[in-house]
Structure 1
Amino acid sequence: MKSSIVFCIVLAVVVPIFGAPNSKDGNTKRYHMEPFFKTNWYRSMAFCHNMGMRLISIQSEEEQEKIVNIINEAGHHDESFWMAATNLGDTIFYWFDTGKKISFKNWARGEPDNDRRQCIALYNEKELLWNDIDCNEQHRIICEEDIKTNSI
């Protein structure tokens, strides 16, 4: 009984899920920010996948603002966060989970700036704008999942 209560408390602290605005297609995204550790892009992808989610893919200015607000409200404005974008095996950046080219972009000034930096993060030194960086750097994780809304 005692361990069940402790487990529930840990889940409440470890798995914060944030709601998100409706998208044009009627889906809603929910986000999970991992507050306890940093890791590389590859492990970030695996972490989100193991939670039944995926690394964030920002599709619009509104979604960019929503993610930045979540980061700021959680007090992590001085951290950088991985996104699901890469140009691994290609010359252009695309969303890893869908293989689609990135259409909405929110690069920091002068970015992307290096062909050998193949992953993208919301970068704290760039005011949480996009920066191409080495996939092996250590950054925080935000996962997302689509939630279908039911119309009554």
Structure 2
Amino acid sequence: MKPLTFLLLLSIFVFGVDLKPENRRNKRKTKEYHLYTTRVNWTEAVKQCESKGMELVSILSRDENNALISSIKEAGQGKIGFWTSANRIEEGDTYYWNNGEKVTFTDWERGKPDKRIKGGEEEQCIEIKGFNTLKWNDNFCSHKLYYICEI
């Protein structure tokens, strides 16, 4: 039986100011998020988003994070975690988003990241943790979770 996929569409307007003198006007960037409730590992989540013409979500600010958490709750989700694109697969101790930006904003669960190692695998990918915690957690990239794509 094919797993049921839940899709939630959310548009968020993110405002930023470029401080360069020639660019000192407000810029508006719209992001569209899609929540998928098919459980896949991190690599498969990246591939699934790309196959849909999107990217696995990058959360660059508290406003974006809060909007995503609210949307997860409004959709009646939160028991199972959601993959983000943040990882440290190639960068040792530093987390990066798939777009190459260093992770600067975080919303870690208390005591995280803890970089556990189990069976030779180290926690290197960031999820929005389930169990209705909805804080960030480092997890094994092979673990199967839901995922969020963005355009």
Question: 2:133 aligned with 1:127, yes or no?
Answer: yes
1:19-51 CA-partner distances (Å, limit 9, x unpaired): 11233231110011113x100000000000111
Q: Which amino acid aligns with 1:139?
A: L
Unaligned runs of 5+ in 2: 17-26, 117-121
Q: Give the structure 1 partner of residue 75 of structure 2.
A: 74
TM-score (norm 2): 0.81
Task: Give the superposed CA RMSD.
Answer: 1.7
- The answer (yes or no) to whether the contact 2:78–2:131 under 8 Å persists in 1 is no
Q: Give the structure 1 partner of residue 54 of structure 2.
A: 53
Q: Pick from 5, 13, 23: which aligns with 2:15?
A: 23
User: Within 5 Å, which residues of 2 pair with 1:3-152?
Assistant: 15-24=7-16, 25-35=27-37, 37-91=38-92, 92-96=94-98, 98-114=99-115, 116-125=122-131, 127-145=133-151
Q: Which amino acid aligns with 1:38?
A: R
Separation in structure 1 between the aligned mates of residue 84 and residue 15 of structure 2, nearest angstrom: 19
Q: Give the structure 1 partner of residue 22 of structure 2.
A: none
TM-score (norm 1): 0.80
Q: Provide the aligned length of Structure 1 versus Structure 2.
A: 131
- The answer (yes or no) to whether the contact 1:86–1:94 under 8 Å persists in 2 is yes
3-state SS of the aligned residue for 1:69?
helix
Separation in structure 1 between the aligned mates of residue 6 and residue 128 of structure 2, nearest angstrom: 22
- The answer (yes or no) to whether the contact 1:108–1:126 under 8 Å persists in 2 is no
3-state SS of the aligned residue for 1:26?
strand
1:60-105 CA-partner distances (Å, limit 9, x unpaired): 1111110001100111121200000000011211112x21211111
- The answer (yes or no) to whether the contact 1:17–1:32 under 8 Å persists in 2 is yes
Higher share of residues assigned helix: 1
- The Cα of 1:106 is off from its aligned counterpart by 0.9
Unaligned runs of 5+ in 1: 1-12, 146-152
